[in-house]
């Protein structure tokens, strides 16, 4: 299962990630981090829809997102970010 | 190679030769009278020696190229004349604040503004009082002829790297254009890259932190700390002062003059000594650090002073500061735009001598 | 990567994380500022091209003066506008190193116009990353040479007027006309597709240095939400809506592709 993690202390709440997710599962959360930003998140009930495309991480200016992609059963292709 | 036979060269060429012998690897310059012999010479000789020559788009650009090469720990030089030195001041301030070694040559001409293409000493303030913004100092050497132009340029590189500071050679159109024999030194042999643990050079990830050569210190107290460090560095220069004392032991009046004027004044002093006058010459060779202690000793011994300079009164302020506990200094100015000769100095010297 | 090791399960792989050459710390850049993306791109390429250990960088004056706190390479800070000259000095002194400078639009296209043109014209073997956000960011949003006609800034409050202030300058095009330039291109950081294309352009701008072909230049259209008085999403949208029409994306010069690269000794036009 593919998934992302958001480093909530690095997220500046710019929400650019929310605009590029093809599954549209990233949203602004209600949580405010130490710097006063409302951070982005993938709600638990939406996580299954993540395809691991890394669009969110690509557009994130703060390198706040890490992306895990589920390996295909036969070939484990490594993809450069 | 071991010391060659004497060469008959212009002061400008002597500067270039001294730089080459000291291991100068890069030269960045721009045409301006009266120093064009320097870039022209370097455009051939430095390239033949495997170095890099760039005629930059401006003196601004040349001084910034110097900053870059210095940050990489490379022996590099630029030369110009007074208006070009005005352009270089920002980069010089940055080099001083960032502790980047560099050699800068000013063959000064008359000013202010476009001025003329003849000699003057009107850049003394610019050279010793910073010139650019902030509380920094340059190590300033003032040659009076071709041999000193060679030797001082040669030594300037070692000074620049020993102190991680820009070093300025302050000559003028006379020093640059006069032609006389010089004795060259053997070229510097040891690896100039040694001991440069501050320079930019790249590193294996994780082996160390990245080196940052900068002059920006924004955090509370940081800039103060940097300035304290710089001032402490300049204090260590005091023991490196140099000056020539000629016939000062029994002199009643000491003429104080630097550079080409010092040499012309020496002739005036000789001529007057031949007439029985008790005069001498004190010629600072380092303008910063200024030989204040030596002047003070002469003042304490009861001598009086006449500062002669090719400007409207700049070094005289340092002379007056040096002797203030015991006396003052008279001043005779050669106006930029006029060409001095030893005869011109006789009357002023006698007048100062006669004043009790 | 230790976090990754902790979290990874056997049937997944980490496909996106911080490049080694990007120091693990928060940046001072505003939310939605594209400096973060550009820095990351630089770091990724330095790692992918195995250049990091030999890189000497030149930072410039503007918000990105702090490049040296984020990209893990030896760096010298240049006076305003002079980074191409400083980079020239670094590269002429150490031709064996990879040298790049990173500049904003005030630094490069205003005070530094002479330095960028002449370094480019000489064909200095350096690479320039040019972040164009149509304003002076660090100093609070003044007009830049790339400010668009009608765009309001603190020094053209009525909007840039062509008669009074002249038209915005297109740097990628301007530099492409100079003989020493081996690669000049403009990319944008406003979308995933554009980011990926921009990274290819940046790679080419780096490659012309490593191959000794000449001067490499990549312009990156970016947002400045704070000084545009927009939120990050609206600012990002402005890039496609207003900037790309005036600053078209694409390659303006590529000697490797158009077969004009001659010998280093003077065969180039």
Same domain, B175 and B278: no
Give C 215-234 residues with CB within 8 A of chain A: 225, 232-233
Instruction: Tell me chain B's radius of gyration from C-alpha atoms.
Output: 21
Residues B21-33: pLDDT tens digits? 999 999 999 999 9
Q: From C193, which residue of chain A is nearest by alpha-carbon distance?
A: A55
Contact C226, C30 (CB under 8 A): yes
Please give the interface size between B and C, counted as residue pairs whose CB atoms are below 8 Å apart: 140
Q: C-contacting residues of A 11-30, CB under 8 Å?
A: 12-16, 19-20
Query: Which residue in the block uniquely carries the two structure tokens 């002079």?
Result: C82
What is the tens place of the pLDDT at every residue in C48-69? Answer: 999 999 999 999 999 999 999 9
Max CA pair span of chain C: 64
- Tell me the pLDDT tens digit for each residue of C233-255: 999 999 999 999 999 999 999 99
Please give the distance of CA B339 from its chain centroid, rounded to a whole number.
21
Half-sphere exposure of C28 (CA within 13 A, CB side): 11
**Which structural domain range is residue A27 located in?**
3-68
Query: Which residues of chain B register pLDDT less than 70?
Result: 1-4, 190-193, 356
pLDDT tens profile A9-51: 999 999 999 999 999 999 999 999 999 999 999 999 999 999 9
Residues of C in contact with A65 (CB under 8 A): 16
Q: How high does pLDDT run on average in chain A?
A: 91
In sequence order, the 6+-apart residues with CB closer than 8 A to the CB of B337 are: B110, B115, B116, B118, B120
The token pair at C127 is 């690479």
- What pTM was estimated for this model as a whole? 0.94
Q: A56-71, pLDDT tens digit by residue?
A: 999 999 999 999 998 8
Give, as one character, the DSSP assignment of residue C118: H
State how far the alpha carbon of C10 is from the alpha carbons of A3, A46, A69, A76, in Å. Answer: 14, 22, 11, 11
Nearest CA in chain C to B217: C66
Pair B200, C56: CB distance under 8 Å: yes
Q: Are residues B46 and B164 in the same domain?
A: yes
Give the number of domains in chain B. 2
Residues of chain C in contact with residue B58, where contact means CB-CB under 8 angstroms, are 114
Decide: C104 and C63 in contact? Cβ < 8 Å. yes
Q: Return the pLDDT at B4.
A: 58
Distance, CA of B167 to CA of B154 (rounded, Å): 11
Q: How many angstroms from the chain centroid is the CA of residue C150?
A: 25
Give residue B35's domain range. 7-182
* Strand residues in chain C grouped as ranges (E): 12-16, 55-59, 74-77, 98-104, 127-132, 135-136, 142-143, 181-188, 215-221, 250-254
What's the pLDDT tens digit per position in C106-137? 999 999 999 999 999 999 999 999 999 999 99
pLDDT at residue C78 in the model:
98
Contact between residue A68 and residue C14 where contact means Cβ atoms under 8 Å apart = yes
Of B294, B47, B71, B348, whose CA–CA distance to C90 is shortest? Answer: B71
In angstroms, the separation between the Cα of residue C205 and the nearest Cα of chain A is 19
Residues B259 and B113 in one domain: no
- In this structure, is residue A63 part of a structural domain? yes
pLDDT the model gives residue B130: 79
User: Rounded to the nearest 5°, which phi and psi values hold at B191?
Assistant: -70, 110
Is the predicted pLDDT of residue A81 greater than 50, yes or no? no
CATH assignment at residue B166: 3.40.50.970
Q: What span, in angstroms and rounded, lies between the C-alpha atoms of B159 and B42?
A: 21
Residue C89 to residue B70, Cβ atoms within 8 A:
yes
Asked if the C-beta of A2 comes within 8 angstroms of chain C's C-beta atoms, the answer is yes
A75 inside 8 A of chain C by CB? no
Q: How far apart are CA B171 and CA B260, in angstroms?
A: 8
| C residues 62-121 lying closer than 8 A (beta carbon) to B | 65, 68, 72-79, 82, 85-95, 97, 114-115, 117-118
Residue B43: closest CA among B59, B26, B58 = B26
Query: Does residue A75 sit within a domain?
Result: no
Is A touching B (3+ C-beta pairs, cut-off 8 A)? no
Which residues from chain C sit within 8 angstroms of residue A17, using beta carbons? none
A65 touches chain C (CB under 8 A): yes
Q: How far is CA C214 from CA B331, C93, C255, C263, in A?
A: 56, 17, 9, 11
The full 3-state SS of chain B, as one line of letters, equals CCCCCCEEEEHHHHHHHHHHHCCCCEEEECCCCCCCHHHHHHHHHHHHCCCEEEECCCHHHHHHHHHHHHHCCCCEEEEECHHHHHHHHHHHHHHHHHCCCEEEEEEEECCCCCCCCCECCCCHHHHHCCCCCCCCCCEEECCCCHHHHHHHHHHHHHHHHHHCCEEEEEEEHHHHHCEEEECCCCCCCCCCCCCCCCCCCCCCCCCCCCCEECCCCCCCCHHHHHHHHHHHHHHHHHHHCCEEEECCCCCCEEEECCHHHHHHHHHHHHHHHHCCCCEEEEEECEEECCCHHHHHHHHHCCCEEEEEECCCCCHHHHHHHHHCCCCCEEEEECCCCCCCCHHHHHHHHHHHHHCC
Return the structure tokens found at B41: 């010479």
For residue C62, the 8-state DSSP code is S
Are residues B259 and B145 part of one domain? Answer: no
ipTM exceeds 0.85: yes
In this complex, is the C-beta atom of A40 within 8 Å of any C-beta atom belonging to chain C?
no
Residue A39 in any domain: the answer is yes
Residue A48, chain C, CB below 8 Å: the answer is no
CA gap B3, B11 in Å, rounded: 19
pLDDT tens-place string over residues C166-183: 999 999 999 999 999 999
Task: Flag if B204 and C53 touch (Cβ within 8 Å).
Answer: yes
Closest-CA distance of chain C to residue B209, Å? 8
B173 in the same domain as B71: yes
CA distance B311 to B317: 12
Q: Which residues of chain C have a CB within 8 Å of the CB of A14?
A: 31-32, 225, 232-233
- Residue C100 contacts residue C210 (beta carbons within 8 Å): no
Same domain membership, residue B276 and residue B174: no
Residue B254 and residue B106 share a domain: no
Is position A79 within any domain? no
The mean pLDDT value for C194-205 works out to: 98
Q: Looking at CA atoms only, how far is residue A16 from chain C in angstroms?
A: 6
Contact A59 C195 (CB under 8 A): yes
The residue from B137, B153, B182 where one domain ends is B182
Smallest Cα distance from A66 to chain C, Å = 5
Q: Compute the half-sphere exposure of residue C212: CA atoms within 13 Å on the CB side of its CA.
A: 8
Q: What pLDDT does C261 receive?
A: 57
* Total domain count, chain A: 1
Transcribe A34-78 into DSSP letters.
TTSPEEEE--GGGGGG-----HHHHH-TT--EEEEEEPPSS----
Q: What is the dihedral of CA A61, A65, A70, A74, to 10 degrees?
A: 50
User: Does residue B40 form part of some domain?
Assistant: yes
Interface contact A5, partner C, CB < 8 A:
yes
Q: Please tell me whether residues B23 and B150 are part of one structural domain.
A: yes
Q: Give the nearest chain C residue to A3 (CA atoms).
A: C12
Residue A78 resides in a domain: no
Judge: domain C27-135+170-254, CATH 3.90.1570.10: no
Q: How far apart are CA C261 and CA C254, in angstroms?
A: 9
Contact A/C (≥3 CB pairs under 8 Å): yes
Q: Which residue has the tokens 């190193």?
A: C97
- Whether residue C118 and residue B61 make contact (CB cut-off 8 A), yes or no, is yes
Interface of C with B in 229-258 (CB under 8 A): none
Of B25, B61, B214, nearest to C85 by CB-CB distance is B61
B64/C52 touch (CB, cutoff 8 Å), yes or no: no
> Are C16 and A58 an interchain contact pair (Cβ–Cβ within 8 Å)?
yes
Q: Which residue of C has its CA nearest to B75?
A: C93
Query: Which residue, among B155, B152, B148, has the nearest Cα to B9 in the 3D structure?
Result: B148
Which among B55, B68, B207 is the top mutation candidate for probing chain C, defined by the most C β-carbons within 10 Å of its own β-carbon?
B68
pLDDT at C267: 36
Domain termination site, one of B139, B162, B182: B182
What CATH number is given to the structural domain containing A9? 3.30.70.20
Count A/C contacts: CB-CB distance under 8 Å. 93
Neighbours of B316 (CB within 10 A): 23
pLDDT band per the 50, 70, 90 thresholds, residue C79? very high
Q: Is C197 helix (H, G, I), strand (E, B) or coil?
A: helix
Nearest C-alpha in B relative to C95: B52
Contacts of B161 in chain C (CB under 8 A): none
Contact (Cβ atoms closer than 8 angstroms) between residue C267 and residue C199:
no
End-to-end CA distance of chain B: 56
């Amino acid at each position: 299962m593919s998934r992302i993690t958001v480093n909530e202390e690095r997220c500046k709440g710019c929400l650019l990630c929310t605009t590029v997710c093809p599954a549209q599962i990233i949203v602004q959360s209600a949580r405010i981090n130490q710097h006063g930003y409302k951070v982005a998140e993938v709600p638990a009930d939406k996580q299954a829809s993540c395809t691991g495309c890394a669009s969110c991480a690509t557009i994130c200016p703060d390198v706040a997102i890490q992306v895990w992609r589920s390996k295909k059963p036969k070939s484990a292709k490594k993809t450069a970010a | 190679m071991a010391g060659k036979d004497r060469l008959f060269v212009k002061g400008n060429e002597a500067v270039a030769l001294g730089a080459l012998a000291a291991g100068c690897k890069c030269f960045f310059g721009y045409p301006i009278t009266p120093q064009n012999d320097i870039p022209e010479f370097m455009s051939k000789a430095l390239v033949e020696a495997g170095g890099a020559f760039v005629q930059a788009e401006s003196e601004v650009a040349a001084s910034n190229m110097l900053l870059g090469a210095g940050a990489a720990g490379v022996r590099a030089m630029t030369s110009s004349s007074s208006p070009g030195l005005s352009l270089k001041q920002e980069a010089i301030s940055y080099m001083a604040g960032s502790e980047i070694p560099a050699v800068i040559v000013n063959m000064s001409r008359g000013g202010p503004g476009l001025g003329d293409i003849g000699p003057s000493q009107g850049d003394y303030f610019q050279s010793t009082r910073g010139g650019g913004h902030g509380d920094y100092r340059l190590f300033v050497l003032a040659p009076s002829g071709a041999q000193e132009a060679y030797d001082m340029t040669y030594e300037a590189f070692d000074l620049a790297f020993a102190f991680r500071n820009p070093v300025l050679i302050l000559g003028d159109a006379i020093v640059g254009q006069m032609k006389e024999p010089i004795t060259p030194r053997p070229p510097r042999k040891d690896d100039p890259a040694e001991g440069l643990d501050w320079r930019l050079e790249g590193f294996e990830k994780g082996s160390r932190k990245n080196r940052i050569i900068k002059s920006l210190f924004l955090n509370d107290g940081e800039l103060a700390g940097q300035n304290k460090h710089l001032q402490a560095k300049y204090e260590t220069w005091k023991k490196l002062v140099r000056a020539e004392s000629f016939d000062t032991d029994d002199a009643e009046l000491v003429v104080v003059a630097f550079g080409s004027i010092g040499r012309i004044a020496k002739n005036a002093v000789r001529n007057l000594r031949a007439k029985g006058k008790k005069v001498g010459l004190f010629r600072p060779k380092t303008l910063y650090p200024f030989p204040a202690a030596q002047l003070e000793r002469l003042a304490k011994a009861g001598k009086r002073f006449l500062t002669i300079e090719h400007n409207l009164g700049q070094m005289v302020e340092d002379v007056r500061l040096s002797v203030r506990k015991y006396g003052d200094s008279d001043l005779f100015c050669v106006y930029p735009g006029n060409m001095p000769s030893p005869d011109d100095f006789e009357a002023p010297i006698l007048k100062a001598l006669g004043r009790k | 990567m230790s976090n990754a090791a902790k979290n990874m399960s056997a049937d997944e792989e980490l496909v996106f994380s911080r490049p080694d050459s990007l120091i693990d710390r928060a940046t001072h850049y505003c939310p939605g500022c594209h400096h973060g993306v550009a820095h990351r791109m630089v770091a990724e390429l330095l790692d992918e091209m195995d250049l990091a250990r030999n890189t000497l960088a030149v930072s410039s004056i503007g918000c990105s003066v702090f490049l040296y706190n984020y990209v893990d390479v030896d760096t010298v800070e240049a006076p305003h506008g002079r980074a191409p000259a400083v980079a020239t000095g670094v590269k002429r002194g150490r031709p064996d190193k990879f040298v790049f400078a990173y500049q904003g639009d005030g630094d490069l296209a205003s005070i530094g116009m002479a330095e960028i043109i002449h370094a480019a014209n000489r064909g200095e073997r350096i690479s320039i990353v040019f972040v164009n956000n149509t304003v002076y960011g660090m100093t609070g949003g003044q007009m830049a040479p790339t400010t668009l006609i009608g765009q309001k800034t603190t020094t053209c409050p009525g909007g840039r007027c062509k008669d009074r202030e002249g038209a915005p300058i297109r740097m990628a095009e301007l530099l492409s006309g100079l003989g020493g330039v081996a690669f000049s291109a403009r990319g944008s950081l406003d979308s995933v597709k554009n980011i990926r294309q921009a990274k290819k352009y940046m790679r080419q701008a780096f490659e012309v240095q490593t191959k000794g072909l000449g001067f490499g230049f990549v312009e990156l259209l970016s947002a400045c939400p704070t000084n545009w008085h927009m939120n990050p999403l609206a600012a990002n949208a402005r890039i496609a809506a207003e900037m790309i029409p005036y600053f078209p994306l694409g390659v303006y010069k590529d000697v490797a592709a158009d077969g004009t690269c001659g010998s280093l000794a003077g065969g180039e036009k």
